[in-house]
Structure 1
Amino acid sequence: MKEIRRLLAENLNDMFIHAVLSNPRTREGWSKVKARPVLIKEERMIQLEMFRGNQAFHQNVGMVEAGEAIAGLMESMKQMQLETTEALYTVLISKKGKVTVKKKIQKKEPIPADISHNRRKQYILREGVPVPFLTDLGVMTEEGKVIKSRFDKFRQINRFLEFIEDILPQLERGREVTILDFGCGKSYLTFAMYYYLHELKGYDVRIIGLDLKSDVIRRCNELSETYGYSKLRFLEGNITDYTGVEKVDMVVTLHACDTATDFALAKAVRWDAKVILSVPCCQHELNAQMKNDVLGPVMKYGLLKERFAALVTDGLRAQYLEREGYDAQILEFIDMEHTPKNILIRAVKTGRKRENQDTIDICEEFLHVSPTLGRLLDEKGEL
């Protein structure tokens, strides 16, 4: 860990903006840690925000102690992104403990870190900084002010980009990265992905958005051409029939209805996608199948059965992805009060297949269900 301690010693100063520690080695302990400078009683310190499940814990440490504290936390993590006003560092730790540090010089105008303790939340796409596609999609004014009635959408977009930020080390530089977005709709998040990855982070990225609505597809392509986004294209079509690529790096499926999510997940696995981000919607399939005498007193209530079926559907989806060699997480996408569709499945390819078929079978037999994703993954040949 000498390289990490040296990196921290050289960069935990006035130039430091923030750091994100992610990809834990085990399921125990912290799932992610964020570090940022704060000013407390005129003293510059580092605030550590540590996440476990849906909970966040905070600790403020002095600049001198911060390096050792962060290095200690890195012993249970596999990657870190550290940003200063001058450079962006990506730190990767292999299974054998080998440390790799990649440095990218910042080309954009340096933005001083906001170190006020009681600050407003700092979004990836910042308020007051005009973003063309947010203006055209009615989220921002031309001056960069977020329209009050669209602030929930602004928060949602930024929350989604935080998930993208966490998986950046999985996306290779030096070659074209291909991303498929199934059911892209009006494409707020599709445009946000391209803007963030290509414009802000400098990735050579090709994004394909797929949706069934021809007028929406036409409008999105017009906007993409207006912005000069040469590798962002939108196509009319459905998930089941799409065969336009042979291999992809990341598959995104947002609010694909019912089993359309399963077809998207199965295709992602067949394409050996490094990353899958899925926000499921309308999980009707298991609701119609579920029967269980033990749970009968609960499932007699339609609303409770519907919600329970949705949770079971997504839990089994995550289990199937782990069976196929992914590290799967169930995360909260946006706050419950804004939409009931607030679960995101994030899966990162590790190649370590989990031997969990027996437990999947027991669960499915107990509830008398047969999910589409399981059947699709067990089929041979192309979807």
Structure 2
Amino acid sequence: MSESERKDSPEQAEFRVHCRDWLRENHPGEPSVRLPQSAIEIMTEPQLHWLQAWQKAAYDAGLVGCDYPEAVGGGGRTDCQRVANEEMQAARTPFLPNVIGLGMAAPTLFYHAQEPLKERLLPRLLSGEDIWCQGFSEPGAGSDLASVQTFAERRGDRWVINGHKVWTSLAHFAEWMILLLRTDKSHKYDGLSYFVVPIRSALGKGVTVRPLIKITGETGFNEVIFEDLEVDDSYRLDELGKGWQVAMTTLLHERGGGELVTPRSGGLTAKTSFSPTARNLRTLAQETPRGDGTAADDPLLRDRIVHQFIREEALQQNQRRSRVPALQDHPMRLQLQYKLLISELAQDTARLGLEVAGPASTLYLADEHAPAGGQWPLAYMNSYGMTIAAGTSEIQRNILGERVLGLAKSK
């Protein structure tokens, strides 16, 4: 029995048994399509539909949205999403495709939307039937998020939106977008408001989605252009001019502030999702010829792989602190640390994977001789997006230094 299990409440212990039994009987198994490494790299409808069916099944079984009230489509449980996540990770299930909806939109809606809007949107978000995307970054406002210029002009009970968002993951499949925009040009922070916008139904009628092709050949990112899109005022979250405060709720969860999304667990087969973990790194070393043996025979290399295992374990243990109020000396510390460290860990592990593979690391997805089907170079290239999204590593360090540790601001 793990330490986490020993600390389960009676409700959590009973729920853990339910999760474990259900996953044993209903694991999705070998997918019918080759899956991407994460939700934000979903490119084709067959990929999306297979993953949506998995999320819907897990939701119907009570493993997704466990801690949300039943009135908004949740399970009405207490601190049980963590249990479901642990069991899904142990079962090595695929990721849930509605990652932005679960990790960012759902908590933002729950804390800031009116009850009728929550009751309408959250059930289909949690089940994965409606995919969500995030409209924050703009061509001239990435790191300085408060400088967004996408503007909404009020006309009675309606708003007319014009502007340009970029790096919008999953917009090519999304039904809804969480949208930070400007409603007052005379104030930087107080001139921002926060909306949820139906973009799928508005394609060609005020919304244009254009894919951005990455160096990997994938098209998970998009730019979204708004041209006189009209939305009702009921889609605004919280008060007018409170968009910055609402956006902080979104960013808190994007940076790891909630137990809302099942972690990626690596893959069992060539078609399942892959992530650059120490476990996968060890497998690569054991399968890579080196001299008369394998790369795993190199003691220096084994030491570096063990170091990655230690970093992963440290991150998991650090996350446990978030459930102990006495260990939280600052509300932003753990979230910022987690986002910073997990993104850099993934990048370092992927880089080490290329070193282990050696010359074969230059072989990509279409090459039948590529180690792990070419997933390691793909993971390395994608890892740079992780150290940029939700604030670059440099920004995370600045915030930790200035707002958490109280250090002088950098010039």
Shorter chain as denominator, the TM-score bin is under 0.3
Higher relative contact order (CA 8 A, sep 6+): 2
Between structures 1 and 2, the one with greater helix share: 2
